[in-house]
């Protein structure tokens, strides 16, 4: 059972880190700006996961006070991540508005094409 728990723990963190690295890779490697923002949001959600994971207690329940339960997971990371999710959506919306504006000015949302246009003209 201990070995199973160990594996589960490693697997959680490993998957979270994979998501984080994948988001980073999309942000750096892809030229399309919409895709870059999707990558950024993947990166963000992986950070949420990294915060939420330590707050879980095996055998505990959600932090809503009830006489039937005595073990609750830690509410503080939940609060922080609630704030982070909403702020993340706000920043993503702002980025998308900027993309719309860039598309209007350059006629494209690909970084490479924008750079080429800059060289040519």
Least Cβ distance, residue 9 to another protein (angstroms): 3
Least Cβ distance, residue 118 to another protein (angstroms): 16
Task: Kindly give the interhelix angle for 75-106 and 33-55, rounded to the nearest 10 degrees.
Answer: 180
User: Can residue 104 be called a binding residue for another protein (CB under 8 A)?
Assistant: yes
Least Cβ distance, residue 121 to another protein (angstroms): 19
Which residues 4-43 are close enough to bind another protein by CB under 8 A? 5-6, 8-9, 11-15, 17-26, 28-32, 34-35, 37-39, 41-42
Cα–Cα nearest to 36, from 87, 80, 102, 120: 102
Which residues 46-75 are close enough to bind another protein by CB under 8 A? 48-49, 52-66, 71-75
User: Can residue 112 be called a binding residue for another protein (CB under 8 A)?
Assistant: yes
User: Can residue 86 be called a binding residue for another protein (CB under 8 A)?
Assistant: yes
Cα within 13 Å of Cα(78), Cβ side? 9
Q: Which is nearer to another protein, 6 or 117 (CB)?
A: 6
Least Cβ distance, residue 25 to another protein (angstroms): 4
**Which letter, b or e, does each residue of 2-38 get, where b requires 16 or more Cβ atoms within 10 Å of its Cβ?**
eeeeeeeeeeeeeebeebbeebeebbeeeebbeebbb
Burial degree of 64 (CB within 10 A; 0-12, 13-18, 19+): exposed
């Amino acid at each position: 059972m201990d070995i199973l728990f160990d594996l589960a723990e490693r697997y959680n963190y490993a998957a979270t880190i994979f998501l984080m690295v994948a988001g980073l890779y999309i942000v750096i490697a892809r030229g399309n700006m919409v895709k870059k923002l999707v990558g950024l949001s993947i990166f963000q959600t992986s950070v949420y996961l990294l915060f939420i994971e330590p707050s879980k207690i095996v055998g505990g329940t959600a932090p809503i006070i009830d006489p039937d339960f005595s073990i609750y997971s830690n509410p503080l990371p939940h609060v922080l991540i609630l704030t982070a999710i909403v702020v993340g959506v706000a920043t993503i919306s702002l980025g998308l508005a900027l993309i719309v504006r860039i598309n209007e000015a350059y006629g494209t949302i690909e970084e490479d094409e924008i750079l080429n246009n800059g060289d040519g003209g």
